[in-house]
Structure 1
Amino acid sequence: MNMPCIKRLISSSLVFFALNPCSLLAQQHAEQNHAHYVVPKDSLVRQKLAQWQDIKFGLLMHWGTYSTWGVVESWSLCPEDEGWCVRRGPHAANWYDYKRAYENLQTTFNPTKFNPERWAVAAKDAGMKYVVFTTKHHDGFCMFDTKQTGYKITDPKTPFSTNPRSNVAKEIFGAFRSQDFMVGAYFSKPDWHVPYYWDPYFPPKDRNVSYAPKKYPERWQQFKDFTYNQIQELMTGYGKIDILWLDGGWVRPASTIDSTISWQRTIPYDQDIDMARIARMGRSHQPGLLVVDRTVTGEFENYVTPEQSIPDTYLPIPWESCMTMGDSWSYIPKENFKSSRKLVQTLVDIVAKNGNLLLNIAPGPDGEWHEEAYGRLKEIGAWLRVNGESIYGTKPVAPYRQKQWAFTGNGNATYQTYLPTDGETPPATVTLAGVSSKTKVTLLGYSKSLKTRSTPEGLVVSLPEPVRQLLTNQPAWVFKIQ
């Protein structure tokens, strides 16, 4: 991700996590950005953005050679003294040895259980409607058949290159597209493998380019062309692409650096890669393409992306919380998956505040997810099949979120969704605020009418015993008001 929002302490068999303040910074960016949000001028982009806002729920996948070691994605290569950059293992003492060993993972990466159709079907059954896949993370290893570098899954050095499905990005996009998903390509702007970014002559000190672009403009131009050419490959050889999701927000023009955000204050150079040229090219091949230049406020951030966090209040601009189903963005052998209750309530909370949820699941080195992830998706899908009309195609309704209630509507009806605590017993009555006695109230998933009475506090709805039994252990209870 742009900045890992979890510190990792990696031992031989266990990974432990603690919250990092960067999740708060991602939220601050989202909340500050709404005053500076630039509405796209292109009508096709606006049309696609509206379509994306209606579908609410997507899948993100971080996958690369790092899954072999079960370590943080890319960041252990970064020579910064931060918890998420800590190196472990036999090569940890020397950064150069570690980088060689890390990049040598290419020669053993062989995910023979790769089956994107299983992922696509499971995601569709869960109610997900778009996918964003990591075509390249900061380490520079390409999960697509680029012609710009040999550091890729289709290179002969990689055992999986002999597999007929070795161009995994193309296979994933095709599998999800066949299930009617919108398709997004995650792409890291920084590339810690290519010599045009981390020049071997100048050892890197941190995540940034290792030389001064202004002093070596020819070198920086090589990097800009390399980046442009790789994105052009993705825009021309991988079918219909709906979203270009760009990570690595320190690669940005100096004029866009926000000095009130701590990590941006550490960016030492102007790292302008000419986003106007990239966006123009992308949209020439993919009309209406959404460009998400994460954290770089302006015309190329078509929606904002708070990371591992949810804004406190409704935001009037397009936004998406990218969050992990477990604790880690990348595969670890033993995950701590959030409960389906937590995940459903997270989706409801986000939608009531005008956002989308992009939920990350990480494939392992064999090309499979943890089986537990499939179980979580099945449980989320069961709830959405009954209650999805309160999510898809809706808009937030004031007061948006109030205590344990979330409010949405679609023009024909409004929905008041109650988020019970774990183990909370359904009561004999609930009170719906701001609802008159002339309205019709139903409970999604229950076919019979409910008795109501008007009070100064709102409409009191009686819940008979069969309803209370139905609601027991449900992650959220949705009342439809017409």
Structure 2
Amino acid sequence: MKPASALLLLALLLPAATRADEGPYVPETDPLVLKKLAAWQDWKFGFMAHWGPYSQWGVVESWSICSEDVPWCARPAGISYVDYKKKYEQLPTTFNPTKFDPDAWARAARDAGMRYVVFTTKHHDGFSMFDTRQADYRITAPDVPFHSNPRANITKEVFDAFRAQGFGIGAYFSKADWHNRDYWAPEWATPTRNNNYDTRKYPKRWQRFVDFTHKQIGELTSQYGRVDILWLDAGWVNPHSHPHAPAYSDQVPWPQDIDMPGLAALARRNQPGLIVVDRAVGGKYEDYRTPEQQVPDRPLPYPWETCMTMGDSWSYKPNDRYKSARDLVHILVDVVAKGGNLLLNVGPDATGQLPKPALERMHDIGKWMKVNGSAIYASHPIKPYAEGKLRFTQLKDGSVNVIYLADEGETLPPATITLKGPQPAPGATVRLLGTDATLTTTRQGGVTTIAIPQDARQMLAGAYAWTIRMSAVRP
């Protein structure tokens, strides 16, 4: 993942393989996966957490030890790359998040109206936030102060806490591992995010890395209870060759084939019906796609999820600039009206707590969802999806929600709403969610005007958006 502050450069700098345009979507055929995917599409709103020893410095997750000349890899002035990397790799020896309370995280996410979680079990730097037996660079290693804490196996604690609240469980896992000697081999320099040797020249070494990766995925999918989503990052680790890749670019000539058929088969033996998201790679192991830090202009013809930071950074950053609760509600509504899910990321701090501004926003989103969540969950798009400040969703019973997005400073629902999109069917009830009011409608020239009584408007003063539900619409 990249920090949001670099977004203006993303479109120019990121290779096509890391965008949500990696070729035709390959539909899933496994009926168990299709059933799980349908359930995931009904959840609509998820919680993501990027967390690791890097939170102690308040820096971008992993990327500062990548020596690419791009903004999100920048390091402080006055320190060499080699010295910086050594200091970064020692961060686990001081990592002791004694205020880590996964139950509090899960309660906050539940109260915000979220329905699933995706947790960073291992990011690109290779530090495992679970009790892997494949590497010493892990949260339960003897040199990590937190290893003696009863909750030291952080991934297990997170999954158990969220599962107890009824959440779908997603494991983020980076296919790259910059700490593994068979990915970034110490014999050679590490100029880019890619592995630093030709896999065609050293096939046995690469196979050791593939085996290591499969063993870690085997652990995560067999020892941590029910897992619904395997969310794989580091899309540059894929079987494609780039024979004309320029030197020091974000591509290399050789393939980095992680054996996705074997990996997916292993994971699904342990977790039948598992959703696999080999993000930004394409092909049959990308069950849904993940536009990062953006909302598509229109509905996409396949399952998708916008993954987005609540602040500017994926990981914890002191004094981060958090989006307002109003903006976050509007983003959620816009995503859902176009048929997607929103996966909203918060970076816990070095003590293990969610930052106060994030908790405040989650609380405020939850207040809105308590009134309007039924217009979000288990909904699907209906044309024209958007109309000015209006967004539309349709429920499985055929009813249609008209969600009016309030401008900043707009504290009351409007007295009337003019609707050119879906029209109420004759005899349909039209009501304002959060009130007992049944609204009156008039129709002229194919346009419906909905009147909202003053007392109903006052009841919902200060909301970020208001929902009108039509029990049935004209064909």
TM-score, normalised to structure 1, is: 0.92
Are the equivalent residues in 1 in contact too, given 2:59–2:317 (CA < 8 A)? Answer: yes
Tell me the percent identity.
51
Match of 1:248 among 234, 237, 241: 234
Match of 2:275 among 290, 297, 313: 290
Change (3 A) 1:181 1:26: farther
Quote the Cα distance in structure 1 between the aligned partners of 2:394 and 2:16: 25
Are the equivalent residues in 2 in contact too, given 1:258–1:264 (CA < 8 A)? Answer: no
1:170 is matched with which residue? 156
Do residues 474 (structure 1) and 463 (structure 2) align? yes
Quote the Cα distance in structure 2 between the aligned partners of 1:25 and 1:52: 28
Q: CA deviation at 1:28?
A: 9.8
2:319 is matched with which residue? 334
Alignment of 1:298-447 (within 5 A): 298-412=283-397, 413-424=399-410, 426-433=413-420, 434-436=422-424, 438=426, 439-447=428-436
Q: CA deviation at 1:24?
A: 9.9
Are the equivalent residues in 1 in contact too, given 2:439–2:451 (CA < 8 A)? Answer: yes
Are the equivalent residues in 1 in contact too, given 2:46–2:114 (CA < 8 A)? Answer: yes
Are the equivalent residues in 2 in contact too, given 1:437–1:453 (CA < 8 A)? Answer: no
Between stretches 73-82 and 422-431, larger displacement belongs to 422-431
Change (3 A) 1:50 1:79: same
Quote the Cα distance in structure 1 between the aligned partners of 2:390 and 2:16: 22
Are the equivalent residues in 2 in contact too, given 1:154–1:161 (CA < 8 A)? Answer: yes
Q: CA deviation at 1:333?
A: 1.5
Which amino acid letter does the alignment assign opposite residue 291 of structure 2? P
Between stretches 472-481 and 114-123, larger displacement belongs to 472-481
Quote the Cα distance in structure 1 between the aligned partners of 2:370 and 2:113: 8
Count residues in correspondence: 465
Gaps of 5+ in 1: 8-17
1:87 is matched with which residue? 75
1:15 is matched with which residue? none
Q: CA deviation at 1:31?
A: 5.8
2:95 is matched with which residue? 109
SS in 1 for 2:170: strand
Q: Deviations over 1:130-149 (max 9, x none)?
A: 00000000000110001111
SS in 2 for 1:399: coil
Q: CA deviation at 1:23?
A: 9.4
Do residues 73 (structure 1) and 58 (structure 2) align? no
Match of 2:255 among 245, 263, 270: 270
Quote the Cα distance in structure 2 between the aligned partners of 1:47 and 1:230: 26
Are the equivalent residues in 1 in contact too, given 2:44–2:340 (CA < 8 A)? Answer: yes
Which amino acid letter does the alignment assign opposite residue 85 of structure 1? C
Quote the Cα distance in structure 1 between the aligned partners of 2:18 and 2:407: 30
Q: Deviations over 1:170-192 (max 9, x none)?
A: 00000000001010100000011
Change (3 A) 1:28 1:140: closer
Match of 1:58 among 24, 46, 56: 46
Are the equivalent residues in 1 in contact too, given 2:430–2:439 (CA < 8 A)? Answer: yes
Which amino acid letter does the alignment assign opposite residue 459 of structure 2? L
Quote the Cα distance in structure 2 between the aligned partners of 1:269 and 1:98: 29
Quote the Cα distance in structure 2 between the aligned partners of 1:151 and 1:473: 49
TM-score, normalised to structure 2, is: 0.94
1:154 is matched with which residue? 140
Are the equivalent residues in 1 in contact too, given 2:3–2:312 (CA < 8 A)? Answer: no
Quote the Cα distance in structure 1 between the aligned partners of 2:101 and 2:282: 37
SS in 2 for 1:392: coil
Change (3 A) 1:204 1:26: closer
1:449 is matched with which residue? 438
Q: Deviations over 1:250-270 (max 9, x none)?
A: 101116x7999xx99733321
Quote the Cα distance in structure 2 between the aligned partners of 1:189 and 1:71: 21
2:199 is matched with which residue? 213
SS in 2 for 1:254: coil
Are the equivalent residues in 2 in contact too, given 1:437–1:459 (CA < 8 A)? Answer: no
Change (3 A) 1:212 1:181: same
Quote the Cα distance in structure 2 between the aligned partners of 1:341 and 1:451: 28
Quote the Cα distance in structure 2 between the aligned partners of 1:107 and 1:436: 63
Are the equivalent residues in 2 in contact too, given 1:144–1:168 (CA < 8 A)? Answer: yes
Are the equivalent residues in 2 in contact too, given 1:417–1:476 (CA < 8 A)? Answer: yes
Change (3 A) 1:54 1:223: same
Gaps of 5+ in 2: none
Match of 2:112 among 126, 130, 153: 126
Quote the Cα distance in structure 2 between the aligned partners of 1:244 and 1:40: 15
Do residues 458 (structure 1) and 457 (structure 2) align? no
Quote the Cα distance in structure 2 between the aligned partners of 1:218 and 1:111: 39
Are the equivalent residues in 1 in contact too, given 2:413–2:466 (CA < 8 A)? Answer: no
Are the equivalent residues in 1 in contact too, given 2:437–2:456 (CA < 8 A)? Answer: no
Quote the Cα distance in structure 2 between the aligned partners of 1:327 and 1:311: 19
Are the equivalent residues in 2 in contact too, given 1:5–1:21 (CA < 8 A)? Answer: no
Which amino acid letter does the alignment assign opposite residue 232 of structure 2? L
Q: CA deviation at 1:124?
A: 0.6
2:5 is matched with which residue? 6
